[in-house]
Amino acid sequence: MAVLEVVGVSKTFGSGELAVQALKPTTFSVEAGELAALLGPSGSGKSTLLLSISLILEPSTGRIVMNGQEVYNSGWTGIDVRRFRRENIGFIFQQHNLIPFLTAQENVALVMQLNGASRREAARRARELLGYLEIGHRADSLPANLSGGELQRVAIGRALANEPLLVLADEPTAALDTNRGTKVMAMLRKIARERGSAVITVTHDRRMIEGFDAVYYLDDGRLSATEPGGAQLHLPRGGSPEAARAVAGGEGKP
Ligand code: ADP
Ligand code: MG
């Protein structure tokens, strides 16, 4: 089953003469364990798409189904959106956005506690998760004492705190050098492969998308699996054709 199904989702900001259709009707889906990248120039609608599927930004049209649950259909479907997001979606921003006066472990544990874990249980699981992300030795450090790459890995830990089925990242390596960026991407790959989460990441850097299952390209709000004027960017993963299935285009039916 698809973790995420997006059908004819569009987003228009403003109204009348000032209206900007940042995202044209967009249709695609991702499967459990699939690693997808979203490329495109600045202003093409990448963040708008990511924020829409993270249920932070309300779309203007279309339908969104996550793990079989319809969450949007020309309007929120009546689910508790904030709770659904907290339980099902992990979001990684360009900047780590960690709380400066909490340690790495406390930053991750806090999100677990918000979801109902006891303080003790959250502390234990946060430490374990940081270990999994190969940053366990920094668990008791404050953000100010961590490098950029380490901070972003803690931020990944926070995004994974509640074991989301969908992990979304908006240019998570933009503030990092190539070496550290590659390591962060390797972590995202590991999450998809080992934990079975679907991972969608926006990136500017083509060197970062090696080994991805699907690559989508956004241009002026229009999503395609092919770069304008050229190369097929869609990279099916061996042995799992359905994982790489992509139905991208502008004619999705709401
Ligand atoms: P990207 O992430 O690819 O750089 P965005 O999704 O941020 O692009 O923006 C796509 C378009 O939507 C741009 O023209 C941008 O100016 C516009 N836009 C984004 N957010 C808003 C907003 N809150 N209000 C009005 N216009 C917006
Ligand atoms: Mg953006």
Q: What is the DSSP letter of 15?
A: -
Q: Is residue 160 a contact partner of residue 92, using CB atoms and an 8 Å limit?
A: no
Q: 3-state DSSP call for residue 172?
A: coil
Ligand 2 centre distance from Cα of residue 126 (Å): 29
Q: Closest-lying ligand to the alpha carbon of 51?
A: 1
pLDDT digits (tens, 9 = 90+) for 13-72: 999 999 999 999 999 999 999 999 999 999 999 999 999 999 999 999 999 999 999 999
Q: 3-state DSSP call for residue 253?
A: coil
Is the pLDDT confidence value at 234 over 90?
no
Question: Which residues, 6+ apart, have CB-to-CB distance to 182 below 8 Å?
Answer: 173, 207, 208
Is the pLDDT confidence value at 228 over 90?
no
Among protein residues, the one with the nearest Cα to ligand 1's atom 25 is 13
CATH number of 2-244: 3.40.50.300
Is the pLDDT confidence value at 237 over 70?
no
Residue 172: name the closest of 192, 147, 152 by CA. Answer: 152
How far are the Cα atoms of 64, 89, 116, 247, 254 from residue 77, in angstroms, in the given order? 10, 17, 24, 24, 14
Q: Judging by beta carbons within 10 Å of its beta carbon (0-12, 13-18, 19+), is residue 82 exposed, middle or buried?
A: exposed
User: What does the domain layout of the chain look like in residue ranges?
Assistant: 2-244
pLDDT digits (tens, 9 = 90+) for 106-152: 999 999 999 999 999 999 999 999 999 999 999 999 999 999 999 99
The alpha-helical segments, DSSP class H, found in 18-140 are 46-53, 81-88, 104-114, 119-132
Q: Which two tokens stand for residue 249?
A: 């285009």
Atom of ligand 1 nearest to the CA of 49: 6
